[in-house]
Structure 1
Amino acid sequence: MTTGAQALAAAVVRLRAADVPDAPRDARRLLAHAMGIAPGRLTLALHDPMSSQALADFEAAIARRASREPVSHITGTRAFYGRDFSVTSDVLDPRPETETLIALALEEPFDSVLDLGTGSGCILLTLLAERPEARGLGADLSDAALAVAQQNARRLGVEADFIRSDWFAAIDGQFDLIVSNPPYITEAEMADLSPEVLHEPRMALTPGGDGLDAYRAIAAGAGAYLRPGGRLMVEIGAAQGPDVAGLFKAAGLGEVQVHPDLDGRDRVVSARARTAKT
């Protein structure tokens, strides 16, 4: 019988041969998934014989990872802000950098939040889980993405509404907080993306051109959907801070700021709807 340790060693060799970054980490994560145990308990089970089903599942998972499919697509989940979210190839994979937006949004109270391009729902549902008294609406142009977001709402036990909308096109009402992690990769940058990223939906990665089209749409519409003094926060690419800040200022928004992530790279641009006095 093959033990977990033997299967793991062979898998690491195979992933390294496929140039998979951090092959040992990914192999351990996939082995734990195939064995149906928490990753933190894997060490305790490494010397146990694997069942034929677990071994077959692990070998299939390693084959998928060797073809550079993301681990989250193989396991079906991705951790974000302390919670596990279901993910598929229909949504952008939640990333640690986006937690910067969450932390900034939670610095002030809000009763209502709109998430544009909600994808997996990780931003909206995290904010509502942290502020359960608030109400929230997630909008996306992809029906498949909305289905994943609704699944995550059920998974987390979070109340939220979802709507198919091209940015603000189908949105009614005003909100204390509008958030978005829109597609922002430029067309020129697409060729340099890792194979893993290219498994994600193109419409969630790039609008084409200079990567700023989504910010233009958000800047143009946000003023009508923010309550006086309401906040707008968007994730950006590391080089886009000045351009996005300029779009928000040109749209008449106030208190425009560019915020870095934990690595010191520009990550979020925030702005506030002006009040009658300002």
Structure 2
Amino acid sequence: MNINISEAIREAKIMIEPVAHEEALQQAKIFVSTIAGIDVGALLIHAEMMLLDEQIADLGEMLERRLKGEPVQYILGEWEFYGLPFYVDTRALIPRQDTELLVETALQMIQERGYRSCLDLCTGTGCVGISIAKNEDIQMTASDISRDALALAKENAELNKVNVAFVDSDLFQRINGKFDLIVCNPPYLTMDDMQSLQQELTFEPKLALYGGGDGLDYYRKIAWEYRDHLNANGMLLLEIGNTQAETVAALFDANTRVLIDLSGNPRVLVVEP
């Protein structure tokens, strides 16, 4: 079968439109650029380049997976977060751009207050803790209840050449000592959310999504225990769902403020005892 890059993009877009909708063209370009080994921005220059049979077969496999609803990130096996590469698979939640505000806020606080130690709870892929450690000289500890997620996070720490101490722990259960800064992107979907998940989300680990009936279980546990692990003048940063700002803030007997993400949604709760 003879097909060039331009034709491959067009055919791929048509094929995945039922699941990708308005993102079909961009996703088609991502898949074709991956199998061709060409940057997405350079596809136009190579529009007439013919694809090899092996490349066409690889593209077909990717498109079949996408048609079944599998997220682009899992199909590619790698995704960028805060300008850094991360391995992604079904062991952990896919890193999302919204979460970059958590990293930006942490870096700002480290720079302004001279924090020297940080704990990343519910680390998943490790994207938050690793991104912080890559940009600041700080003692980083990261934990997760999932050993599979921790294994993936360790791979990502090696990929990004950062030193992180990993702990197998259900929130603070096996965490020793205190930290200047604690960051966490906990599971916060409600029961109603879980029963109406978009197809792509069904591929992600439920352990990393479900936050209990009202989505607040993890926030309650953190509110009960975080003070025992926070140094004087320390800070807790939590990612929150876009409807949870008031309810989560009310759980903490401390000074709180909410930060808004680029989409205009409440995204990070800052807690200062």
Q: TM-score, normalized by length of structure 1? A: 0.93
Q: Provide the rounded CA distance (Å) in 2 between the counterparts of 1:17 and 1:214.
A: 36
Identify the residue that residue 134 of structure 2 maps to in structure 1. Answer: 129
Alignment of 1:253-272 (within 5 A): 254-272=254-272
Report the alpha carbon displacement of residue 20 of structure 1 after superposing the two structures with TM. Answer: 3.9
Listed as ranges, the matches of 1:182-261 within 5 Å are: 182-249=186-253, 254-261=254-261
Work out whether residues 136 and 160 of structure 1, in 8 Å CA contact, stay in contact via their aligned partners in 2.
Answer: yes
SS in 2 for 1:185: coil
2-side partners of 1:194 and 1:35: how far apart? 30
Question: 2:123 is matched with which residue?
Answer: 118
Distance 1:245 1:113 in 2: 21
SS across alignment from 2:109: coil
Query: Whole-Å Cα distance in 2 between the matches of residues 52 and 100 of structure 1?
Result: 42
Alignment match, 1:153? 157
Aligned to 1:44: 45
Residue identity in the other structure for 1:267: R
2:118 aligned counterpart, secondary structure:
strand
Displacement of 1:4 in angstroms is 1.3
Q: Distance in 1 between matches of 2:84 and 2:138?
A: 19
Amino acid in structure 2 at the alignment position of 1:127: I
Instruction: Report the Cα distance in structure 2 between the residues aligned to 1:35 and 1:202, rounded to whole angstroms.
Output: 34
CA apart distance, 1:47: 1.0
Counterpart-to-counterpart distance in 1, 2:109 and 2:18: 48
Q: Contact 1:20–1:68 (CA<8 Å) still a contact in 2?
A: no
Q: Aligned to 1:163, what secondary structure does the other structure show?
A: strand
Q: CA deviation at 1:214?
A: 0.4
Query: Which residue in the other structure is 1:8 paired with?
Result: 9
- The number of equivalent residue pairs is 268
Residue equivalent to 1:163: 167
**Contact 2:118–2:182 at 8 Å: present in 1 too?**
yes
Moved more, 12-21 or 202-211: 12-21
Q: What is the rounded CA distance, in whole Å, between the counterparts of 1:124 and 1:199 in structure 2?
A: 24
Code of the residue aligned with 1:116 in structure 2: it is: L
Aligned-partner Cα distance in 2 for 1:144–1:87:
12
RMSD between superposed Cα atoms in Å:
1.2
Letter matched to residue 165 of structure 2: D
**Match of residue 138 from structure 1:** 142
Match of 1:276 in 2: none
Q: CA deviation at 1:19?
A: 5.2
2:189–2:211 Cα contact (<8 Å) kept? yes
Query: Hey, what does 1:55 align to over in structure 2?
Result: 56
Q: Does 1:177 align with 2:148?
A: no
Q: 1:13 to 1:232 in 2, by over 3 A?
A: same
Q: Is the 8 A contact 1:20 1:66 kept in 2?
A: no
Return the alpha-carbon distance in structure 1 between the equivalents of residues 158 and 39 of structure 2. 22
